[in-house]
Amino acid sequence: MRRNNITVMNSFSSHPLYRKHDLDSAMSALWMFYRERFMILFVTAFIMSFGMQLFTLMFDFSELMNLTDPVEML
């Protein structure tokens, strides 16, 4: 078990944002990270937004909020 924890702890050093930062280098690194991965981040956000929209349209949440009887809620 300890060996797995050490492996997990060492793997963070391979992350693209891992290094010492001051504010300027941190913002620059985040900007480069975002620029390099813009399409996948955008597509993921779009799909998640679309999925949440469909989820909220499937259920009438305003009707659920007006229910007061616990049996009716089930």
9-62 per-position pLDDT tens digit = 567 777 766 777 788 888 898 899 899 999 999 999 999 999 999 988 888 777
pLDDT the model gives residue 65: 75
More confident residue, 65 or 37: 37
pLDDT the model gives residue 49: 97
Q: What are phi and psi of 63, to 5 degrees?
A: -70, -40
Please give the C-alpha separations between residue 19 and each of 10, 26, 50, in angstroms, as whole numbers.
13, 9, 35
Tokens of 16: 């693209």
Cα–Cα distance measured from residue 66 to residue 64, given in angstroms and rounded to the nearest whole number: 5
pLDDT the model gives residue 1: 44
Cα–Cα distance measured from residue 38 to residue 35, given in angstroms and rounded to the nearest whole number: 5
